[in-house]
Structure 1
Amino acid sequence: MKREVNNQPVRDIGVRQRSVRGTVPKMGQYESTLERDLMELIRFNPSVHSFLAQPLTIEYRTAEGEKRKFTPDGLIHFKEGKSLEPSVLYEVKFRSDFRKQWKILMPKFRAAKAYCDLRGWRFQVFTEREIRTPYLTNIKFLWPFLDRIPSASASDRLISALEKLGEATPESILTHLAESVARRVELIPVLWHLISVNKIGCDLETPLCMASRIWKLED
């Protein structure tokens, strides 16, 4: 099922502090490098059904009774499955900005949480602590291999060998399959492609390297 993108946010993308404007392919525009990095995480996630940038505006009142509006940065809907995740309405903030602006931000976030509670969604604030992790580094590395479709025979060789071994590392499986360095080099892109499309399992929460633990995933 295709992941959907809302190309018409409810608020304009403007210039602001820390603003670095651009577009993530198939996702939409971003306003900061942190927002861009989160979009990269979202589009790599196979559980995501659709994503909408600046999806809606929430009206709320301050403690003084003044009317205010808040437009969160994005909304993620997930595919239906055995463990259905609730949709996530989110805001992206650098931790330093959050600390400086928390008095202004907290009423907005409380209004967003109340809005989500009524719909069975979840509201979350993403900072660099949640976004800029080894997982982000790994998927940035794997992206170029995602669409590099290898031959079926090369893929089958790797998967079959890994199935027999049960568990291995990139270095050990390549050594097992090919004696020459040249042949191993040819198989490396195949291995990274199979990891990127979830044919081969790997802990992407830790730095990916030739000594990483890998295994065959169930179809």
Structure 2
Amino acid sequence: MPVRKIPKNYRNVTGVHASEKSIGEAQFESTLERDFLTLLEFHPDVERFEVQPKVIHWEDSSGKQRKHTPDVLVLFKPDLKIKPWLCEVKYRSDIFENWPQYKPKFKAGIRHAKAAGWRYRLITEIEVRTPFLANCRFLTGFKFQKPKEQDIKLLLERIKHLGQSTPAALLAAIDPDKYAQAYLMPTLWHLIANHRIDVDLYQDLTMQSIIWSKS
């Protein structure tokens, strides 16, 4: 469970993010945290992540004991050999306005991460709110669906045969009937959301986007 008290702020929207990668519940305490968890859930390099993984104890300049609870620990796929990220997620305006207060806390986080062999990262809306996020938000509604295996097989076999296509062309190649295409479309987005069919998610995702077979 989160150990922080949530400050009253117009930006605070709390909840639990649906996740297959989270260690424990993927709780969020702001829309920015929610959006960052969405990116982690979809990013192919991320293997697991944990929300509020550590309480870091540190001493301020007056000798008073303080606590810092970073937002997320991100673990990457082992073959990539990327150090885990210990992340603090904040709006840039918040960092600028409260820098004297945050600076010693961030320094404590940097020391802790370095000792653990990790990297300490400040994540702001600049890194989070990108075209990639917009695509991930759209695909979230399809990622956890349970399509019929026969529909999955049909789409995967056809995209493998074509090698490269677009959502519109792939569906048309399977069936010219518009109703049949509409029926298969959620399964296609499900396969893209789960990286079983590839697409460049850093570009706007449309029916004319280039998609290709994983194999």
Common topology (TM > 0.5): yes
Structure 2 residue 23 is matched with structure 1 residue 20:
no
2:67 alignment counterpart: 69
- 5+ residue gaps, structure 1, are 1-7
Superposition TM-score, scaled by structure 1 size: 0.84
Query: Secondary structure of the equivalent of 1:135?
Result: helix
Q: By how many angstroms is 1:120 displaced?
A: 0.8
The percent identity for this pair of structures is 34
Query: Secondary structure of the equivalent of 1:209?
Result: coil
1:56 alignment counterpart: 55
- 5+ residue gaps, structure 2, are 19-24
8 Å CA contact 2:17, 2:34 repeated in 1: no
2:22 alignment counterpart: none
The worse-fitting range, judged by mean Cα deviation, of 86-95 and 102-111 is 102-111
Structure 2 residue 190 is matched with structure 1 residue 198:
no
Q: 1:87 aligns with which of 70, 84, 103?
A: 84
| Aligned-partner residue type, residue 41 of structure 2 | R
Q: By how many angstroms is 1:151 displaced?
A: 2.3
Write out per-residue CA displacement over residues 20-76 of structure 1, whole angstroms, 9 at most, x where no aligned residue. 2421245343322111222222334463324132631231444x7665432222223
Q: 2:152 aligns with which of 139, 151, 155?
A: 155
| Aligned-partner residue type, residue 179 of structure 1 | P
1:96 alignment counterpart: 93
Residues 50/99 of structure 1: CA separation in 2 closer, same or farther (3 Å cut): closer
Write out per-residue CA displacement over residues 144-194 of structure 1, whole angstroms, 9 at most, x where no aligned residue. 212322222222222222122221111111111111111111111111011
Write out per-residue CA displacement over residues 124-148 of structure 1, whole angstroms, 9 at most, x where no aligned residue. 1111111111222212211221232
Query: Secondary structure of the equivalent of 1:215?
Result: strand
Query: Quick one: distance in 2 between partners of 1:28 and 1:149?
Result: 21
8 Å CA contact 2:53, 2:70 repeated in 1: yes
8 Å CA contact 2:4, 2:69 repeated in 1: no
| Aligned-partner residue type, residue 139 of structure 1 | C
1:173 alignment counterpart: 170
Query: Secondary structure of the equivalent of 1:82?
Result: helix
RMSD of aligned Cα (Å): 2.2
Q: 2:132 aligns with which of 118, 131, 135?
A: 135
Superposition TM-score, scaled by structure 2 size: 0.85
8 Å CA contact 2:55, 2:70 repeated in 1: yes
